[in-house]
């Protein structure tokens, strides 16, 4: 029994020791695990702090680099602005010098070209103005109007222009005392027996009779194109055309009416417009007259088959307005005569209401 007890005690002690050893081992393991965890946590914290520090440093570096770049950009801008200012100042100085030189040259040229009147202190650069001044101010001859006592002029051209504009009859070629002329003459008594049209004077009445006697087709030159669908009727035989309005209204109405109606009936509808070429001249004192030959056209009109109302008067008024504008803007142009009257004609086929054009 004693031995058994001893054995039991020994075994119990062994068990205790083993249990203690195991406990110690477990405690050590736990400690090691805890220490490792702590180390890892500390390492993580260190890494996080290091990263934060790195980020802060990088941000600082970026800010510094941006500041430096901005400073450099500002310096460059300032340098460029200074260069531009210097260049602009140089250009301004160069331009001012050029202007000064040009003004000095002009002054010298003007001083060289200045012409002085022999009879007074009048000075001018233009030779024409000097000649006009000499004629107007130092010519003793005075032109008086024989028909009105209010007009006087020292220039023969102005006197002639005054008489031709203010004392010329609108219905005939009479120039003189208009009051007695209008009382003694009747401008509405001439009537054509063939077409029953009235004319203001025998001059235009005789011209109309000469036109009525001839066939209208033989009074113009015909130019055709595109299988005769486009035509130009050219009238050039004018004898004494002193006024565009009288020439076009009185001499050409019958011919134009006849040709437009004939072409409209033949082509079942046309579009047409008038084109008139005239000669104008400008008188210059001491030099030759200058001549121009402008062309004036009316707007496009449409005339259908069997239509009698043809707006020729409207087209003529448009041409007259354009010519008056040209003369007024040109300041001094004088009408000479009509060179040609062209009647442009093209076939006109309007689409009906139910038709359409097929598109690809």
Whether the full predicted model's pTM is greater than 0.85, yes or no, is no
pLDDT given for residue 311 in this prediction:
82
CB 194 within 8 A of CB 212: yes
Question: Please, which residues have CB within 8 angstroms of residue 203's CB and are 6 or more apart in sequence?
Answer: 172, 173
So where are the chain's domains? 202-347
Distances (CA, A) of 150 to 145, 146, 181, 192: 8, 10, 20, 41
pLDDT given for residue 65 in this prediction:
92
pLDDT in tens, 50-60: 999 999 999 99
pLDDT given for residue 43 in this prediction:
92
pLDDT given for residue 156 in this prediction:
45
Q: Domain spanning 202-347: which CATH class is it, in words?
A: alpha beta
pLDDT given for residue 225 in this prediction:
77
pLDDT in tens, 241-265: 445 544 444 557 777 888 888 888 7
Residues in the chain with pLDDT values less than 70: 109-116, 118-119, 125, 127, 135, 138-190, 193-219, 228, 237-251, 330-331, 350-360
pLDDT given for residue 258 in this prediction:
80
Question: What length does the chain have?
Answer: 360
d(CA 211, CA 249): 13
């Amino acid at each position: 029994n004693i031995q058994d007890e001893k054995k039991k005690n020994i075994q119990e002690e062994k068990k205790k020791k083993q249990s203690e050893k195991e406990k110690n081992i477990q405690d050590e393991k736990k400690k090691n695990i805890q220490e490792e965890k702590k180390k890892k946590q500390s390492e993580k914290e260190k890494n996080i702090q290091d990263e934060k520090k790195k980020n802060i440093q990088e941000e600082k570096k970026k800010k510094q680099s941006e500041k430096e770049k901005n400073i450099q950009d500002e310096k460059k801008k300032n340098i460029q602005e200074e260069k531009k200012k210097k260049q602009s100042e140089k250009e301004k100085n160069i331009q001012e010098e050029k202007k000064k030189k040009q003004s000095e040259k002009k002054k010298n040229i003007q001083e060289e070209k200045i012409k002085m009147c022999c009879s007074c202190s009048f000075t001018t650069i233009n030779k024409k103005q000097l000649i006009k001044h000499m004629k107007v101010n130092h010519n003793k001859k005075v032109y008086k109007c024989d028909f009105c006592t209010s007009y006087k002029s020292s220039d023969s051209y102005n006197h002639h222009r005054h008489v031709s504009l203010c004392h010329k009859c609108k219905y005939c070629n009479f120039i003189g005392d208009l009051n007695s002329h209008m009382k003694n003459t009747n401008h509405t008594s001439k009537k054509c027996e063939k077409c029953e049209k009235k004319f203001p004077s025998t001059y235009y009445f005789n011209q109309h009779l000469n036109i009525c006697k001839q066939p209208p087709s033989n009074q113009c030159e015909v130019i055709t194109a595109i299988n005769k669908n486009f035509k130009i009727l050219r009238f050039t035989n004018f004898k004494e055309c002193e006024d565009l309005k009288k020439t076009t209204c009185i001499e050409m109405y019958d011919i134009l009416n006849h040709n437009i109606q004939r072409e409209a009936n033949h082509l079942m509808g046309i579009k047409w417009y008038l084109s008139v070429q005239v000669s104008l001249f400008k008188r210059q004192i001491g030099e030759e007259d200058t001549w121009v030959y402008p062309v004036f056209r009316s707007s496009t009109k449409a005339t259908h088959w069997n239509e009698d109302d043809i707006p020729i008067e409207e087209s003529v008024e448009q041409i007259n307005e354009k010519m008056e504008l040209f003369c007024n803007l040109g300041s001094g142009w004088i009408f000479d005569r009509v060179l040609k009257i062209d009647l442009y004609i093209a076939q006109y086929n309007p689409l009906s209401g139910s038709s359409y054009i097929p598109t690809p």
